[in-house]
């Protein structure tokens, strides 16, 4: 139905537009292609003239160098564990809260929601110093929980879930209650199953957020054994005689789970992002 725009126009225009976009997309994707190429070359090759345009055979050496300088295996494990635990826990916290806001009417509701959404507007930087001191007081520096805990109640996640849950018909919940389910059982058995696309979108969002988060892990992870991938890569970049081959290999490795998660769930992701806005 929204094909209405321009559907009667000439195919020539369409071909021009499409090929123009193909060129633009190619430009946008150059950094990705180049990342793959560069991660298989040595630093000397990368900065050679002309720069390498096709994959080389230096991948193994780059990985070995990463393992040696920042124990990359441990770093990847740190990142995976932190992101996975965070996604599950934050997903639960945000979904529960979003559900409460979407499907119940209670005293202080608007007020509470307003306070939580304050977190969207107040810059993260305001909390960095006191949070760091809190972590230091609790002796949580260099621990997983220091990275995971502070962002569990993510305002955007709560907002997203409230939006998605609002579309759920009340009758469905009531029928669950009629069947003798308690409130929590209704949530588990009746609310969650049809929410799968929204949950997938939330999960992707949370995973990527944590996987890519930089400033907070940079602050609380001071011991190189506890580094996440972004922190480890940034630490490599600062030194003299930077091994860019290794850094770019690490960057490429860091992109793999993201690409997998995204490709596997992208259908849900886009539909989840568009949920509430699209009415067809």
Q: Which residues from 81-110 bind other proteins, rule CB under 8 A?
A: 92-94, 96-97, 99-101, 104, 106, 109
Q: Of 129, 136, 166, 264, which lies in the binding site for other proteins, with binding defined by CB under 8 A?
A: 129
The first and second tokens of residue 182, run together, are 């308690």
Which own/partner contact pairs does 134-138 have at CB distance under 8 Å and 24+ positions apart? Answer: 135/220
Stretch that binds other proteins, among 59-67, 69-77, 80-88, 111-119 (CB under 8 A): 111-119
132 belongs to the binding site for other proteins (CB under 8 A):
yes
State the Cα–Cα distance between residues 254 and 256, nearest whole angstrom. 6
111 belongs to the binding site for other proteins (CB under 8 A):
no
Local structure of 237: helix, strand or coil: helix
* Contacts (CB under 8 A) with other proteins, residues 30-89: 30-32, 34-35, 38, 46-51
Q: Of 77, 166, 167, 256, which lies in the binding site for other proteins, with binding defined by CB under 8 A?
A: 167
Nearer to other proteins, 63 or 219 (CB): 219
Nearer to other proteins, 3 or 57 (CB): 3
Stretch that binds other proteins, among 56-64, 67-75, 80-88, 229-237 (CB under 8 A): 229-237
- Inter-CA distances, 252 with 99, 100, 141, 198, 237, Å: 37, 40, 28, 28, 15
State the Cα–Cα distance between residues 262 and 249, nearest whole angstrom. 20
Nearer to other proteins, 77 or 129 (CB): 129
Q: Of 23, 57, 170, 184, which lies in the binding site for other proteins, with binding defined by CB under 8 A?
A: 184
């Amino acid at each position: 139905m929204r094909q209405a725009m321009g559907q009667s126009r000439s195919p020539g225009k369409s071909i021009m537009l499409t090929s123009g976009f193909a060129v633009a997309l190619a430009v946008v994707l150059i950094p990705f292609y180049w990342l793959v190429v560069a991660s298989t070359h040595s630093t000397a090759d990368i900065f050679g003239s002309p720069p390498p345009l096709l994959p080389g055979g230096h991948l193994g050496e780059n990985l070995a160098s990463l393992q040696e300088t920042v124990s990359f295996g441990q770093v990847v494990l740190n990142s995976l564990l932190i992101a996975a635990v965070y996604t599950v826990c934050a997903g639960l916290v945000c979904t529960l809260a979003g559900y409460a806001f979407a499907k119940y009417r209670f005293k202080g509701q608007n007020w509470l929601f307003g306070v939580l959404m304050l977190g969207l507007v107040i810059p993260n930087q305001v909390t960095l110093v006191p949070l760091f001191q809190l972590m230091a007081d609790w002796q949580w520096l260099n621990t997983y929980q220091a990275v995971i805990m502070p962002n569990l109640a993510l305002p955007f996640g709560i907002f997203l879930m409230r939006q998605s849950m609002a579309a759920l018909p009340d009758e469905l919940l009531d029928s669950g209650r009629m069947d003798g389910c308690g409130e929590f059982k209704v949530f588990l058995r009746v609310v969650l199953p049809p929410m799968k696309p929204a949950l997938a979108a939330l999960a992707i969002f949370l995973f990527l957020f944590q996987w890519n988060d930089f400033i907070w892990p940079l602050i609380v992870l001071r011991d190189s054994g506890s580094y996440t991938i972004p922190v480890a890569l940034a630490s490599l970049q600062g030194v003299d005689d930077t091994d860019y081959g290794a850094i770019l290999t690490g960057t490429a490795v860091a992109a793999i789970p993201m690409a997998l998660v995204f490709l596997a769930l992208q259908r849900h992701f886009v539909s989840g992002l568009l949920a509430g806005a699209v009415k067809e």
